[in-house]
């Protein structure tokens, strides 16, 4: 098959142009401060529903970027989301991506306390990483536990919440949004049923690429 | 927030029941042989469009399961998709998940030949892994290169094609489907713009869980 040879940068610029044009056609042009996140998520999913589903607390994007610029780690709820977060960008900023789900220590605590790994992993994040960016794209359990911690005074730099699914998912995101708003914790959430590890990673990467000034894929390097 | 304590197995069974019910309501009940894959992808995305977008060549699901039962490796186009494929299931079957995108060797070949890592990674897969399950969820370049190899006689056990995006993506999947059909290579493809690493991994996992007989999450273990 004849393929036009374009660089990844060309392809991404063309894609973002198409996304912005179609968003405008749908009457869904995001405000400038949300544009990078909305376009990156649509780019990762080809699903324009996210232009409706994504909600941002005031200045959440800028606060997330500020934290990443200061070297905050990104803590994910799955190794899949962790693998999708731009490692070269994080390294450039002095940060790192962490996931505790497969930790032997977390497994032992979960067994001991009769809880789930998802809950024990959030407990570890809250105990050891104040000021982290937390990015959740899997089950609602972790997000609900995080909301409990925030009610008890834990203050992450940013909550990215994009669990996906059919049981407790919609409610977990509504609850987390309410808790974050009340506590003044910055949050970016994909409301409704949709989400996933790829969505959580895409939101992180939109912030990381902006923070790093590496909007051209060629400048980013590979995970 | 009050949360009902359910096991991951309970939640997944409830979710799959909801998905099947809503698919029926949409007139999109999949044939029995495609049900595990369609439901797993909808479960991973909460996007019912996949019930329309997923196409299967004849017996693709069974041929994929047979290959996995025989210990075929799964080769993905991103480390994110690799991280999403069930490692415990693969280990149980004597297989493994591989991704060559971040290989130093692949980077060197790409530099030398003036090509992309995506292309060099497919070349390595085709040269070293006949009979593999290839699962692509990122850029169309890799899928197009794979189609070239199939036209030249390479015979993977199964092609899973779910690149996502706005430039060359739709065309790459149509071309790959045509090439696989002509060559008699089993294929499962998410047609249209939608897809992603999570979709590619979900298709793999539907086959792996069936092959392993671990439909209950508790029996699967963690990646």
For the stretch B12-35, pLDDT in tens is 999 999 999 999 999 999 999 999
* Shortest CA distance from A46: residue in chain B: B194
Residue B120 has a pLDDT of: 96
Three-state DSSP class for A193? coil
* Shortest CA distance from B149: residue in chain A: A1
Crossing angle for the helix pair B32-45 and B60-69, to the nearest 10 degrees: 80
| Active-site hit among B5, B43, B129, B175 | B43
Residue B40 has a pLDDT of: 98
For the stretch A22-48, pLDDT in tens is 999 999 999 999 999 999 999 999 999
Confidence band (pLDDT; 50, 70, 90) for B2?
very low
* B43 has catalytic annotation: yes
Crossing angle for the helix pair B197-212 and B60-69, to the nearest 10 degrees: 70
The alpha carbon of residue B186 is apart from the nearest alpha carbon of chain A, in Å, by 20
Q: Which two tokens stand for residue A129?
A: 């990483």
Residue B219 has a pLDDT of: 65
When CB atoms are compared, the residue of B15, B147, B148 closest to A167 is B15
The rounded distance, in Å, linking the Cα atoms of B83 and A223 is: 12
The rounded distance, in Å, linking the Cα atoms of A163 and A140 is: 6
The rounded distance, in Å, linking the Cα atoms of B183 and B156 is: 11
Alpha helices in A93-155 (DSSP H): 104-113, 117-128, 140-151
For the stretch A64-92, pLDDT in tens is 999 999 999 999 999 999 999 999 999 99
Q: Which residue has the higher pLDDT, B219 or B7?
A: B7
Contact A193 B223 (CB under 8 A): no
Set of chain A residues whose Cβ sits within 8 Å of the Cβ of B6: 167
Q: What percent of chain B has pLDDT over 70?
A: 94
Set of chain A residues whose Cβ sits within 8 Å of the Cβ of B78: 83-84, 223
Average confidence (pLDDT) over A6-11: 81
Residue A100 has a pLDDT of: 97
Residue A2 has a pLDDT of: 47
Contact B46 A147 (CB under 8 A): no
Beta strand extents in B101-152 (DSSP E only): 133-136
* Shortest CA distance from B85: residue in chain A: A80
The rounded distance, in Å, linking the Cα atoms of A33 and A38 is: 10
Mean of per-residue pLDDT scores for chain B = 94
Global ipTM: 0.94
Contact B164 A44 (CB under 8 A): yes
Contact A167 B102 (CB under 8 A): no
Q: Is the pLDDT of residue B4 over 70?
A: no
Q: Is the pLDDT of residue A133 over 60?
A: yes
Q: How many interface pairs between A and B have CB atoms less than 8 angstroms apart?
A: 131
Confidence band (pLDDT; 50, 70, 90) for A5?
low
Q: Is the pLDDT of residue A8 over 50?
A: yes
Helix, strand, coil share (%) of chain B residues, nearest 5: 55, 10, 35
The alpha carbon of residue B102 is apart from the nearest alpha carbon of chain A, in Å, by 7
Q: Which two tokens stand for residue A134?
A: 């937390």
Average confidence (pLDDT) over B160-174: 97
Q: Is the pLDDT of residue A173 over 50?
A: yes
| Range of weakest confidence among A138-152, B82-96, B106-120, B207-221 | B207-221
Confidence band (pLDDT; 50, 70, 90) for A215?
low
For the stretch A146-163, pLDDT in tens is 999 999 999 999 999 999
When CB atoms are compared, the residue of A15, A141, A168 closest to B165 is A15
Q: Is the pLDDT of residue B191 over 60?
A: yes
Residue pair B132/B77 in contact by the 8 Å Cβ criterion? no
Contact B193 A19 (CB under 8 A): no
Q: Which residue has the higher pLDDT, B72 or B216?
A: B72
Residue B10 has a pLDDT of: 87
Q: How crowded is the C-beta side of B93, counted as CA atoms within 13 Å? A: 29
For the stretch B90-114, pLDDT in tens is 999 999 999 999 899 999 999 999 9
Residue B9 has a pLDDT of: 84
Contact A194 B47 (CB under 8 A): yes
Average confidence (pLDDT) over B58-72: 98
Average confidence (pLDDT) over A167-177: 97
**Domains of chain A, each with CATH number or no CATH:** 52-215 (3.40.50.10230)
Residue B67 has a pLDDT of: 98
Return the closest-CA partner of residue B138 out of B180, B184, B84: B84
Contact B223 A102 (CB under 8 A): yes
Set of chain B residues whose Cβ sits within 8 Å of the Cβ of A175: 1
Strand partners, A139: none
């Amino acid at each position: 098959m004849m393929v036009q040879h374009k660089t990844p940068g060309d392809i991404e610029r063309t894609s973002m142009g198409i996304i912005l044009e179609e968003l405008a056609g749908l009457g869904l042009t995001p405000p400038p401060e949300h544009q990078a996140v909305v376009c990156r998520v649509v780019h990762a999913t080809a699903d324009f529903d996210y232009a409706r589903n994504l909600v941002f607390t005031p200045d959440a994007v800028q606060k997330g970027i500020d934290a990443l610029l200061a070297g905050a780690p990104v803590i994910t709820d799955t190794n899949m989301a962790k693998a999708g977060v731009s490692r070269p960008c994080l390294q450039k900023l002095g940060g790192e991506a962490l996931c505790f789900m497969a930790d032997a220590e977390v497994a032992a605590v979960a067994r001991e306390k009769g809880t789930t790994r998802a809950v024990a992993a959030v407990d570890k994040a809250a105990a050891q990483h104040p000021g982290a960016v937390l990015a959740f794209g899997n089950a609602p359990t972790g997000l609900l536990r995080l909301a409990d911690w925030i009610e008890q005074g834990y203050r992450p730099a940013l909550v990215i919440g994009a669990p996906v699914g059919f049981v407790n998912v919609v409610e977990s995101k509504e609850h987390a949004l309410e808790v974050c708003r009340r506590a003044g914790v910055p949050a970016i959430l994909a409301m409704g049923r949709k989400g996933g590890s790829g969505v959580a990673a895409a939101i992180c990467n939109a912030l990381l690429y902006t923070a790093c000034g590496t909007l051209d894929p060629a400048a980013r390097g590979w995970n």
